[in-house]
Copies of this chain bind each other. A is one copy, B any other.
């Protein structure tokens, strides 16, 4: 944790003083935030819009490793992973609540770092912190965030609206966060066996940023609106392309074909994958934590979509009976499968 000189132990502040100190710099920005922190509940005034709600739980050791994850980045990312789900409904995030379980090994300054990251994300994405719960914990750090967004009813995009022949598109590129994580894990192992070793992270700034400081696709959602395009289905890529595409296919009762050479992969991702002997396509299909958007649009929008920077058309929707397949460059078809829930498997 913090090696700072001014270390304030948690017990020096009461629970309520701590919450006051951590949240005092957060000022509501949204008209819909009628009442924020400081009562039994926050009050939200939706003014004719629909509200969307999503929640994510981040546990130390499962979702993050504090040996290489700075707390400020962790705070930032915790907000991003939630509001990414709000954008995936074609909605605008407006409020979050933050619950923390913290053990005695953290000091007040650690939590201030975490909240500095939360605040940066809130400011950048125009989101208000409206509540939460702070509790002690016996073991690791627990972060639970709920995000609320608003949207006109006619703008909502579900996972279930994909139609046969729709184009399958993704924003940005895939697999980078996964390769960034592999790099961090490698350097951690090196450091553990030789504590004088310097981490070799040069030339890999981009993939490290993808795992340590991801962004949500706000600009893309705004651009779609400007261009008058409403996707027929949309989902954010948190568990890997394969799993998310299967969600769209299942909910829409459709099949799909995506093409291996169309999957957008950054050069650093490929380079790191080669170094570690991993197939970059596997990182893109199953790696997860990309927080890009996967969506489908009618083929009539082809021209507009092609002109959008940072959007790749990777395939098309088919009848459900044809299944969901990845097509290789030699025209072989590989069945798409969802990632298992590895961490609960018997060892």
Contact = CB atoms under 8 A, between A and B. Distances in A.
Interface of A: 9-11, 14-16, 18, 34-35, 38-46, 50-57, 59, 61-63, 85-86, 88-89, 91, 95, 97, 99-102, 104, 130-133, 135-140, 142, 144, 146, 148-149, 153, 156, 158-160, 234-236, 251, 338, 340-341, 343-346
A210 to B, nearest CB: 20
A220 to B, nearest CB: 15
B40 A89 contact: yes
B9 A39 contact: no
B149 A41 contact: yes
B41 A85 contact: yes
A106 to B, nearest CB: 9
A160 B236 CA distance: 40
B39 A43 contact: no
A136 B40 contact: no
A160 B35 CA distance: 12
28 contacts: A14-B340, A15-B341, A16-B338, A35-B158, A38-B251, A39-B158, A39-B251, A40-B54, A40-B86, A40-B236, A41-B53, A41-B54, A41-B85, A41-B89, A42-B53, A43-B50, A43-B52, A44-B52, A53-B95, A53-B146, A55-B132, A56-B99, A59-B138, A59-B142, A101-B142, A104-B346, A138-B139, A139-B140
Given A59-B101, A142-B101, A146-B146, A344 B136 contact: yes
Copies of this protein in the complex: 2
A241 B14 CA distance: 17
Nearest to A293: B40
A146 B97 contact: yes
A55 B11 contact: no
A257 to B, nearest CB: 23
A56 B133 contact: yes
A5 B88 CA distance: 42
Contacts of A158: 35, 39
- Residue among A135, A158, A344 with max Cβ neighbours from chain B (10 Å): A344
A137 B149 CA distance: 28
B100 A57 contact: yes
Contacts of A53: 41-42, 44, 95, 97, 130-131, 146, 148
